[in-house]
C-alpha cells in the first residue's frame, strides 16, 4: 500500500532537497494513518490534496528563499543559464551569425509557406452552407477518353430541385469568368470594367452574399434590375446609399443595355475563386440565348444545397443518367462534388477527381518541412561540433552537482533562446518578403496575428528549438565528468556517424531541389514554346461592342475592313469566347454513317471570317471558309473530330446539329486550343462575318507603330471606349500561371535551401579544420603542400556528397517522372539534368569547404604546433 507515485514525483520536482525527507516522511505517515481511518481510495485523494498544498506553498515563497538549491526552477539558476547562453552567443560571433541566418531564413520560409498553404486551404470556403454546397459536373465520353466539365444544361437546376428530395436548393449560375472578358459599366462619364454574373432565383439560398442595401430578391423581380458590389457602387456613385433605383449602362456582348440598381452586396471575399462585381437575373441570359431552353446546350454551372445527412454515393448514382431521362440523345453522365473542394481537387481523370492544386499544397508543405529540417540540422551540427569547446563547462557543472536533467534543461533552453531570436529576425524578413511573395503567387496574403496564427508560429519555433537542441542537449549532458576534466574525451564513432548522416541528408535534399527546379523549368519552357498548331506571335486581340442588329454589324464589318488596310497589319479576324479558355460544347450531331446510340461532344468555336488564315492554322484537307455570306452553310472540323466520327473522305459531307445543316468544307490539323495538360479534343468551327473579339495579326518588328494606328481607327469608330488590347501569347502564358509560379517559387526555395545548407557546411568545415589544426601542422612540417592538405579536408565532404548523390537521383527521377506524366505533352528526363545538378552541387560544396580548407592549410605550422 503505497502513496501515489506521480504525486511523489511532483513533490520531488518542486520541493527543495533538504526538506524533502521530512515532508515525504510526514506525508507517508499521514497516508498510513488515513488509510486506516478512511480507506485507501480516499487516502490517496487526500495525499494528492496534501502534496498540492505543499507544491503551491513552495511556488508562492520560492522567490524569498535564502538557501540556494540546485533546482531547475530556481530563478538564480535561470539567470545563470541565461547568462551563460548569452556569453556563449557573443563569444563566437561568426558561429552565432551562421546559426542565426540559417535558422531565421529557414523559419521565414516555413512561415511564408505556412501562410500560403493556409490561404490555399481557405479558398472558396466562405459560404455558410459550405458542407452542403455541391456543384454538378458532367462526364462526356469520347472514343478513348472521358472529358469532365463543369457546364450543365440551364434547365438542370430547377429540374433537380423539383424532382430530387435530397436537393434543398439548386441554382443556375453563369459566372463572370465564363465570358472571355469583362463588361463595361457606366454612369454618366464614369466607365469601369466589371465582371457580371448571371444567377437563378435560388442563388442566395445557396451562396452567401450579404446585401448592404436593397432586397436580395429584387433582382429577380424583372430582367432589368441588377445588384452591384459595394466597391463598384462606391466607384460609380461615391456612396452605397441612395443608389437604389438609379440607372447604369452595361456594355457586354448581347447583354448590353440600361439596367436599374436594385441592391448593393458586400464585395466577393478574397478567398473566392470566382469574384464578380455585378449580379444579373439568369432570365436575362436566357432571353438573349434561347438555346438555354434545350437540354442539349451546356453552358451554365449548376450548384446544389444537398440536405444534411444525404448519402452522396447514392445521390450520385441517382443522378448519373438524369440527363438521359430528359433527353434521350444526351450521353453525358452527371455527378456532384463539393464546391469548396473543387479548387484544390479540380482535375479529373476518367471522370473521377484526381488531385489538382492540392499536389502543390502538399509539395510546398513538404518543402517547408525540409527547409526547417535542414536549418535544424545545421544548428544541431554546429552545436555538437562546438560542444567540444564546452566540455570543461559541463564537467565542472557535473562535479559541483548538476544533474543530467538540469543540463538537458539548460541546453534545450539555449536552443530555444536561439530559436526565438531567429523568430524575431524571421518576422522582420517575413514582413520584408511578403509583398514580393504576394507578387509571385498572385495572392494577397497579409500577416495577421490571430490566435491560431500566434499559436502556430510559437509552436513551430518551439518545435524548431526542441528539435535543433535535442541532440546537443542529450549529447553534451552525457559526458563523463572525470574523463572530461582529465581531457581524455574521444569523439565516439556513433557521434561521427550521426553528424555524417545529417550532412548526407542535407546534401540529398539540396540535390532533390536542384534537379526538380531544373526539370520544372525545362517543362515550363517547353510548354511555352511548343508548336500549338497555330501561330500566336504578333497577334493582339481586343473587344468591340457588338449587338445583333444589322446596322451595328455592318459598322463592325466596316471597322474590321478598315483595320485590314492599316500598314503593318497582315490579317484580321474575330471570334467569340476565349481561345485559351472556356467554350461551350454541343452534342447531338448527326453525320452520315453515325452509329446508333453514339454521341460526341464537340467544342464549338464560333469565329469570324479569316480566322483560320489569321492564326495560320494548317488545313489537312479541303479548304478554309469562303468568307462570304455563302459560308453560312459551311463547317470545318479538326482532325480529332473527324477521327472520332469515323468519317472517311469527309469533304462535302453534310452534318446536322440543332436544326442546322452544314457542309464540311475543310479539316484543320489538330491544334491545342486548351491547356497542354489535355490532349486535343474534337471541335468544329462555325463562321460569321464578325464577332465581338477582334484579332489582328501584325508584321513583326513594327508592332508598336501598328498598334498606335489600330488605336486611332478604334477610337474613331468607338467614341468614349478605351482601347484595351492584349497579346495572344500573353494569354497563353497565363494559362500556365500556376506552373510558372511553382517554377519561380521552387527556384527561390531551392536557392534558400542550398544557402542554408552551405552555411552549415561552412561552419562544419571551419570546425573540422580547427580540430585538426595540429594534424595539419605536423603534415606540413613533414612536407605536405597546401594543395595536399586542402584536398584532404575537402575529400571528407566530397565522399558524403557522393553518397547523397547515389541516394537522391533514383528518388527524384521517379518523382519527376510522375509529375511530368500529368502533362499530355512533356519533356523527357535527360541524363544532362542530373549531370548539371551533380556538378553544380559539387562546385558549390568545393567552394564552401575549400575556402576553409585552404585557410587551414595556409596556416603557419609553427603557430599551431607551439601553443599547447
Residue ranges that bind another protein, judged by CB under 8 A? 21-30, 32-33, 50, 53-54, 56-57, 61
Query: Residue 388 is placed in which grid cell?
Result: 567540444
CA dist 394 to 84, 88, 349, 485, 499, Å? 12, 13, 61, 9, 21
Query: In 3-state terms, what secondary structure has residue 622?
Result: strand
Q: How near is the Cβ of 2 to another protein at its closest, in Å?
A: 8
Q: CB of 63: closest distance to another protein in angstroms? A: 15
Q: How far is the CB of 56 from another protein (least distance, A)?
A: 8
Smallest distance, another protein to C-beta of residue 61, A: 8
Strands 569-575 vs 693-698: parallel, antiparallel or unpaired: antiparallel
Which one, 56 or 824, has the nearer CB to another protein?
56
Nearer to another protein, 69 or 726 (CB): 69
Short-list 751, 846, 722, 544, CA closest to 186: 722
Pairing of strands 654-657, 660-668: antiparallel
241: three-class secondary structure by DSSP: coil
Q: Which is nearer to another protein, 56 or 458 (CB)?
A: 56
| Phi/psi of residue 309, nearest 5 degrees | 80, 10
Q: What is the C-alpha to C-alpha distance for residues 421 and 77, in angstroms, rounded to an integer?
A: 21
CB-based contact 69:15 (threshold 8 Å): no
Whole-angstrom distance, CA of residue 25 vs CA of residue 139? 78
The whole-angstrom separation of Cα 462 and Cα 759 is 22
CB nearer to another protein: give 33 or 439.
Answer: 33
Q: Minimal distance in Å, beta carbon 68 to another protein?
A: 16
User: First and final CA of the chain: distance in angstroms?
Assistant: 61
Measured from the CB atom, is 50 or 634 closer to another protein? 50
Whole-angstrom distance, CA of residue 805 vs CA of residue 840: 12
Query: CB–CB of 725/707 below 8 Å?
Result: yes
Give CA–CA dist 236/323, Å, rounded.
43
Cβ 856 to another protein shortest distance, Å: 59
- Comparison of 26 and 349: residue with beta carbon closer to another protein: 26
Q: Write down the residue that cell numbers 552525457 correspond to.
A: 478
All residues at 6 or more sequence positions from 395 whose CB lies less than 8 Å from its CB, including other chains = 479, 481, 484, 485
Query: Is 57 or 436 the residue whose CB approaches another protein more closely?
Result: 57
Residue 52 C-beta: closest distance to another protein, Å? 9
**Beta-bridge mates of residue 683:** 603
Cα distance between residue 512 and residue 508, in whole Å = 6
Residue closer to another protein (CB basis): 22 or 659: 22
- Closest to another protein by CB, 49 vs 78, is 49
- Shortest Å, Cβ 71 to another protein: 17
What are 728's three cell numbers?
A: 495572344
Spatial contact of 586 and 297, defined as CB atoms under 8 Å apart: yes
- The label of the residue with cell 456582348 reads 253
Cβ proximity to another protein: between 32 and 835 the closer is 32
We find the least distance from the C-beta atom of residue 59 to another protein, in angstroms, to be 11
Question: With respect to another protein, which residue has the nearer C-beta, 18 or 821?
Answer: 18
Least distance in Å: CB of 70 to another protein?
20
CB of 86 to another protein, least distance (A): 35
Q: What CA–CA distance (Å, rounded) separates 285 from 290?
A: 8
Residues forming a β-bridge with 306: 167
Q: Of 2 and 628, which CB lies nearer to another protein in the complex structure?
A: 2
Residues 6+ apart with CB under 8 A from 769: 776, 793, 852, 853, 855, 856
CA distance 422 to 101: 8
Distance separating alpha carbons of residues 228 and 236, to the nearest angstrom: 10
Distance CA 441, CA 424 (A): 24
Report strand pairing: 654-657 vs 693-698.
unpaired
d(CA 435, CA 440): 9
Tell me the closest approach of the beta carbon of residue 28 to another protein, in angstroms: 5
- Residue (38 or 287) nearer to another protein, CB: 38
Q: Which is nearer to another protein, 15 or 219 (CB)?
A: 15
Report the C-alpha gap between 835 and 844 in whole angstroms.
Answer: 14
> Cβ distance 354 to 148 under 8 Å?
no
Q: How far is the CB of 405 from another protein (least distance, A)?
A: 23
CB of residue 752 to another protein, shortest distance in Å: 55
Q: How far is the CB of 53 from another protein (least distance, A)?
A: 4
Which C-beta is closer to another protein: that of 19 or that of 623?
19
Comparison of 54 and 237: residue with beta carbon closer to another protein: 54
Inter-axis angle of helices 493-529 and 737-771, to 10 degrees? 150
Nearest Cα to Cα of residue 636 among 611, 658, 608, 665: 665
Distances (CA, A) of 267 to 185, 210, 229: 16, 9, 5
Q: Which is nearer to another protein, 53 or 245 (CB)?
A: 53
Q: Shortest Cβ distance from residue 75 to another protein (Å)?
A: 20
Minimal distance, residue 45 CB to another protein, in Å: 14
Give the shortest CB-44-to-another protein separation in angstroms: 15
Cβ(418)–Cβ(103) under 8 Å?
Answer: yes
Instruction: Work out the number of other CB atoms within 10 angstroms of the CB of residue 598.
Output: 12
Q: Which three cell numbers stand for residue 516?
A: 526538380
Task: Determine contact, residues 393/83, Cβ cutoff 8 Å.
Answer: no
The nearer residue to another protein, 73 or 272, going by C-beta atoms, is 73
Q: What is the spatial distance between Cα 362 and Cα 355, in angstroms, rounded to a whole number?
A: 11
Amino acid at each position: 500500500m503505497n502513496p501515489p507515485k506521480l504525486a511523489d514525483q511532483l513533490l520531488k520536482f518542486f520541493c527543495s532537497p533538504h526538506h524533502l525527507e521530512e515532508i515525504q516522511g510526514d506525508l507517508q505517515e499521514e497516508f498510513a494513518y488515513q488509510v486506516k481511518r478512511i480507506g485507501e481510495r480516499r487516502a490517496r485523494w487526500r495525499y494528492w490534496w496534501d502534496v498540492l498544498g505543499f507544491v503551491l506553498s513552495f511556488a508562492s515563497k520560492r522567490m524569498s528563499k535564502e538557501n540556494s538549491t540546485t533546482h531547475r526552477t530556481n530563478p538564480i539558476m535561470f539567470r545563470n543559464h541565461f547568462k551563460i547562453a548569452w556569453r556563449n552567443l557573443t563569444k563566437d560571433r561568426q558561429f552565432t551569425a551562421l546559426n542565426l541566418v540559417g535558422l531565421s531564413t529557414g523559419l521565414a520560409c516555413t512561415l511564408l509557406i505556412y501562410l500560403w498553404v493556409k490561404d490555399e486551404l481557405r479558398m472558396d470556403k466562405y459560404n455558410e452552407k459550405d458542407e452542403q454546397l455541391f456543384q454538378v459536373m458532367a462526364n462526356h465520353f469520347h472514343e478513348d477518353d472521358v472529358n469532365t466539365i463543369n457546364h450543365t444544361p440551364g434547365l438542370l437546376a430547377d429540374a433537380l430541385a423539383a424532382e430530387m428530395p435530397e436537393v434543398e436548393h439548386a441554382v443556375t449560375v453563369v459566372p463572370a469568368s465564363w465570358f472571355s472578358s469583362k463588361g463595361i459599366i457606366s454612369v454618366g462619364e464614369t466607365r469601369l470594367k466589371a465582371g457580371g454574373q448571371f444567377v437563378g432565383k435560388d442563388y442566395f439560398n445557396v451562396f452567401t452574399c450579404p446585401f448592404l442595401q436593397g432586397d436580395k430578391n429584387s433582382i429577380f423581380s424583372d430582367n432589368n434590375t441588377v445588384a452591384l458590389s459595394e466597391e463598384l457602387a462606391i466607384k460609380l456613385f461615391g456612396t452605397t446609399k441612395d443608389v437604389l433605383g438609379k440607372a447604369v449602362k452595361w456594355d457586354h456582348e448581347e447583354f448590353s443595355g440600361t439596367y436599374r440598381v436594385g441592391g448593393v452586396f458586400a464585395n466577393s471575399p478574397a478567398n473566392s475563386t470566382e469574384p464578380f462585381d455585378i449580379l444579373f437575373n439568369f432570365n436575362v441570359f436566357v432571353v438573349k440565348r434561347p438555346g438555354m431552353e434545350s437540354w442539349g446546350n451546356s453552358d451554365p454551372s449548376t450548384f446544389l444545397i444537398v440536405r444534411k445527412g444525404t448519402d452522396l454515393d447514392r445521390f450520385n448514382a441517382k443522378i448519373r443518367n438524369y440527363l438521359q431521362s430528359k433527353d434521350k440523345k444526351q450521353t453525358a453522365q452527371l455527378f456532384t462534388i463539393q464546391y469548396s473542394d473543387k479548387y484544390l481537387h479540380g482535375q479529373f481523370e476518367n471522370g473521377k477527381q484526381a488531385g489538382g492544386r492540392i499536389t502543390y499544397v502538399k509539395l510546398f508543405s513538404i518543402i517547408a518541412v525540409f527547409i526547417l529540417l535542414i536549418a535544424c540540422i545545421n544548428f544541431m551540427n554546429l552545436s555538437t561540433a562546438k560542444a567540444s569547446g564546452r566540455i570543461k563547462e559541463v564537467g565542472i557543472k557535473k562535479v559541483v552537482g548538476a544533474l543530467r536533467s538540469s543540463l538537458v534543461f539548460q541546453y534545450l533552453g539555449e536552443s530555444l533562446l536561439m530559436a526565438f531570436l531567429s523568430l524575431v529576425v524571421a518576422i522582420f524578413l517575413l514582413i520584408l518578403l511578403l509583398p514580393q511573395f504576394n507578387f509571385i503567387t498572385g495572392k494577397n496574403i497579409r500577416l495577421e496575428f490571430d490566435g491560431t496564427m500566434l499559436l502556430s508560429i510559437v509552436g513551430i519555433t518551439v518545435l524548431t528549438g526542441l528539435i535543433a537542441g535535442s541532440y546537443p542537449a542529450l549529447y553534451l549532458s552525457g559526458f563523463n565528468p572525470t574523463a572530461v576534466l582529465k581531457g581524455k574525451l574521444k569523439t565516439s564513432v556513433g557521434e561521427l556517424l550521426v553528424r555524417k548522416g545529417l550532412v548526407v541528408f542535407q546534401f540529398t535534399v539540396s540535390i532533390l531541389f536542384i534537379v526538380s527546379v531544373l526539370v520544372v523549368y525545362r517543362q515550363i519552357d517547353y510548354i511555352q514554346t511548343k508548336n500549338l498548331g497555330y501561330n500566336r506571335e504578333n497577334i493582339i486581340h481586343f473587344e468591340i461592342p457588338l449587338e445583333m442588329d444589322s446596322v451595328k454589324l455592318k459598322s463592325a464589318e466596316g471597322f474590321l475592313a478598315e483595320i485590314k488596310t492599316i500598314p503593318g497589319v497582315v490579317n484580321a479576324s474575330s471570334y467569340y469566347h476565349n481561345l485559351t479558355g472556356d467554350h461551350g460544347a454541343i452534342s447531338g450531331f448527326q453525320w452520315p454513317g453515325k452509329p446508333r446510340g453514339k454521341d460526341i461532344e464537340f467544342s464549338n468555336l464560333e469565329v469570324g471570317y479569316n480566322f483560320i488564315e489569321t492564326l495560320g492554322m494548317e488545313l489537312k484537307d479541303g479548304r478554309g471558309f469562303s468568307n462570304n455570306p455563302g459560308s453560312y452553310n459551311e463547317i470545318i472540323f479538326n482532325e480529332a473530330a473527324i477521327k472520332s466520327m469515323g468519317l472517311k473522305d469527309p469533304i462535302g459531307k453534310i452534318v446536322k446539329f440543332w436544326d442546322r445543316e452544314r457542309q464540311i468544307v475543310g479539316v484543320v490539323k489538330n491544334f491545342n486550343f486548351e491547356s497542354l495538360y489535355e490532349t486535343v479534343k474534337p471541335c468544329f468551327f462555325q463562321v460569321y462575318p464578325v464577332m465581338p473579339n477582334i484579332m489582328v495579326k501584325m508584321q513583326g518588328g513594327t508592332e508598336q507603330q501598328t498598334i498606335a494606328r489600330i488605336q486611332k481607327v478604334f477610337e474613331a469608330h468607338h467614341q468614349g471606349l478605351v482601347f484595351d488590347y492584349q497579346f495572344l501569347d500573353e494569354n497563353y502564358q497565363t494559362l500556365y500561371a500556376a506552373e510558372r509560379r511553382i517554377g519561380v517559387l521552387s527556384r527561390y526555395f531551392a536557392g534558400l535551401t542550398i544557402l542554408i545548407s552551405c552555411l552549415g557546411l561552412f561552419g562544419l568545415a571551419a570546425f573540422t579544420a580547427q580540430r585538426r589544426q595540429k594534424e595539419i601542422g605536423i603534415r606540413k612540417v613533414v612536407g605536405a603542400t597546401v594543395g595536399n592538405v586542402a584536398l584532404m579536408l575537402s575529400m571528407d565532404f566530397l565522399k558524403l556528397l557522393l553518397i547523397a548523390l547515389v541516394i537522391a537521383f533514383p528518388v527524384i527521377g521517379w518523382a519527376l517522372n510522375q509529375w511530368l506524366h500529368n502533362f499530355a505533352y512533356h519533356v523527357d528526363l535527360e541524363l544532362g539534368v542530373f549531370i548539371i545538378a551533380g556538378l553544380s552541387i559539387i562546385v558549390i560544396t568545393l567552394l564552401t569547404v575549400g575556402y576553409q580548407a585552404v585557410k587551414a592549410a595556409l596556416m603557419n605550422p609553427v603557430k599551431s604546433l607551439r601553443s599547447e
